[in-house]
A and B are shown apart, each in its own frame.
Chain A
Amino acid sequence: MKILRGAAFGISEHIPAARWCLAIAAVAFSAAVSVSRYIDLADTAAFSSFEILFMIMTDPINIVFIYLPAYLFTVCGIMFGSGFGGIEILRCHSRSDWLAGKLIVYAVNTVIFFAAVVAIDLTVCSRTFFFSDVWSSGFVGFRVMMGNPASDFASPPVPTLICASAAVLMFYFFCGMVNMLVSVVFGRESAALFISLLAGICIGMLNTMVYSNDTESQLIRCAILVAASLLMYVFCLAALSRKDLTRRSG
């Protein structure tokens, strides 16, 4: 109950409106640019909305270099609300309960941000391309020509998209956990943002190089990211239990 109260307080008190507006504007603009990019490609083969959305969700430039910084920009101040704990910890009566509340705040922010990304991308895609529940041969041929294995498209578009989206969601949540850990350790928002962004870029590029985009690989990726996120949370608990909260470090 105290955890939920702390989470509710954190969510209601920490809605940086300006940051969210800037992030949503960046996501919308990036969606328009992505669709504009793929319109040129669609001259060679007719693509559907789900196929374009799949390309956006698996494009490292969008996911790692545009959406990830926007996401971290919206969440990087969560740990520093109300003077880094302070009265919130008193309300929750323990540091672990306070941190659990913060975990819920991070999770809620991640889900909202991700939902906004998918909604905006799908809206922009659907205005330009038609819907289809099967992969088109032109799209599969194009992806194979770009070096992706044909096994990526063994499942229909909707389940493949759901798995790809879940993998991206867990990737962002993991980066949020890294942000939480760095915030606790260093106590500075700029350090939290830059270190978690750097970690996210490394993991994102590794994902692209090592894993393919078929359903099974996406599920394995999700499982690994969930485990890694839990590990980050445990490290965060350990760091928080040792932290001197009376000393302010910038």
Chain B
Amino acid sequence: MKFLKTDLKRAFSEPTFFIGLILGILSLFGPAVYFMLTDGMSGDIYSRSRSYILPFAAPLLAAMPYSTMIMIEKETHFRIMMNTKMRNNGYEFIRFAVCGISGGMVLLIPQLLLFVFCLAAGQVNNIAGSAKGFVLALSFGFGYAVFSYGLTFVNRQRYIPAVIPQVIYLFCTYAFPHLDLERFYPPLDLSPEIYGGNITSDRFIIPSVLALAGLILTAAGIVIEKTGETRS
């Protein structure tokens, strides 16, 4: 529990976490200001701003807070030292949870700020729907962030865990409409307003699959590391 609190504090004080927050805020408030200047105070600016830029950069923002730092810890063997300090394999799974939470928060916090701003300006049409959007932001950020964490076990380059989730996301965004998979169109998992749709259970499928993939990669990575340690 003590390690969980320490790691959470560390996650929320990482420079990359703040960079992700700033980029998230810019990707939301930029379009909001643009719409206010061009369309005046008409329409649901909150929903429109959420579906403009953020859905296309969200996986990178979710993976940013922790992935590079974890790769540095791997290179410096900090992870091995923490494993010897903790009695079981709790370290990796606590890290898994913290990574997911930080990824979710980096998408949630800018949306909360925009929500408060638009609510004060009377630019939110559907408050209940907007609140459900916060759950989507958490699940989206969690899924992509823990997938990125799982990738840290299977590669040696620092940039790969941060970049690969975004690459896969953009690839699926291009491919799914041509394969009659519009139901699972990835940007809808963060902003269903793109197609004017409601939040359904389909919105949680891809983040869940990615979270499961991240869990499997983490477990496989632990087994491989333990096998390597036993042999040496």
- Give chain A's interface residues, CB within 8 Å of chain B: 26, 29-30, 32-33, 36-37, 40, 61, 65-66, 69, 189-190, 193-194
Give the residues in chain A near B167, CB-CB below 8 Å.
69
Within 8 Å CB of B178, what residues of A?
A: 33, 36-37, 40
Q: Assess the B158–A190 pair: CB atoms within 8 A.
A: yes
Does B158 contact A26, Cβ atoms closer than 8 Å? no
Contact status B179-A190, CB under 8 Å? no
Q: Write out the residue numbers on chain A whose beta carbons fall within 8 Å of the beta carbon of B174.
A: 33, 61, 65-66
| Structural contact, A26 and B157, CB atoms closer than 8 A | no
Return chain A residues, CB-CB under 8 Å to B175.
29-30, 33
CB pair B171 A26 closer than 8 Å: yes
User: Residue B159 at the A interface, CB < 8 A?
Assistant: yes
| Contact partners of A61 in chain B: CB under 8 A | 174
B145-172 CB contact bits vs A (8 Å, 1 = yes)?
Answer: 0000000000001110000000100010
- Inter-chain CA distance A30–B179, complex, in Å, is 11
A66, B157: Cα distance in complex, Å? 21
In whole Å, how far is B73's beta carbon from the nearest beta carbon of chain A?
A: 16
Nearest CB of chain B from residue A153's CB, rounded to whole Å:
25
Query: Are A190 and B171 in contact, CB atoms less than 8 angstroms apart?
Result: no
Residues of A within 8 A of B157 (CB): 189-190
Interface on chain B toward A: helix, strand, loop, or mixed SS?
Answer: helix
Name B's A-contacting residues (CB within 8 A).
157-159, 167, 171, 174-175, 178-179
Question: Nearest 4 CB-CB pairs, A to B?
Answer: A190-B159, A33-B175, A37-B178, A36-B178
23 contacting pairs across A/B (C-beta < 8 A): A26-B171, A29-B171, A29-B175, A30-B171, A30-B175, A32-B179, A33-B174, A33-B175, A33-B178, A33-B179, A36-B178, A36-B179, A37-B178, A61-B174, A65-B174, A66-B171, A66-B174, A69-B167, A189-B157, A189-B159, A190-B158, A190-B159, A194-B159
In the assembled complex, which residues on chain B have CB atoms less than 8 Å from the CB atom of A26? 171
**Chain A residue at minimal CB-CB distance from B180:** A36
> Cβ of B159: which chain A residues have Cβ within 8 Å of it?
189-190, 193-194
Q: Complex Cα distance A33/B181, Å?
A: 11
Can you name 9 extra interface pairs (CB under 8 A) apart from A29-B171, A189-B157? A30-B175, A33-B179, A36-B178, A65-B174, A66-B174, A69-B167, A190-B159, A193-B159, A194-B159
Determine the distance from Cα of A37 to Cα of B179 in the docked complex, in whole angstroms: 8
Distance in angstroms between the alpha carbons of A4 and B46 in the assembled complex? 62
In the complex, chain B residues whose CB is within 8 Å of the CB of A40: 178
**Docked CA distance A85–B133 (Å):** 52
Whole-angstrom distance between the alpha carbons of A40 and B175 in the complex?
14
Distance between Cα atoms of A69 and B167 in the complex (Å): 10
Q: Chain B: which residue is nearest A69 at the CB level?
A: B167
Q: How far is it, in angstroms, between the C-alpha of A36 and the C-alpha of B179 when the chains are bound?
A: 7
A69: chain B residues within 8 A (beta carbon): 167
Complexed CA–CA distance, A32 and B178 (Å): 10
Complex CA–CA separation, A30 to B159 (angstroms): 23
Kindly report which residue of chain B lies nearest to residue A66, judged by CB atoms: B171
Closest to A34 in B: B178
Determine the distance from Cα of A32 to Cα of B174 in the docked complex, in whole angstroms: 12
In the complex, the chain A residue whose C-beta lies closest to that of B160 is A190
- Report chain B residues within 8 Å CB of A30: 171, 175
Which residue on chain B has the smallest CB distance to residue A76?
B157
Query: Min CB distance, B225 to chain A, in Å?
Result: 18
Complex formed: what's the CA distance from A32 to B179 in Å? 9
Chain B residues closer than 8 Å to A66, beta-carbon distance: 171, 174
Residues on A with C-beta less than 8 A from B158 are 190
Cα–Cα distance between A26 and B179 once the two chains are bound (Å): 15
Residues in A neighbouring B179, C-beta threshold 8 A:
32-33, 36
> In whole angstroms, what is the CA distance A69 to B179 when docked?
22
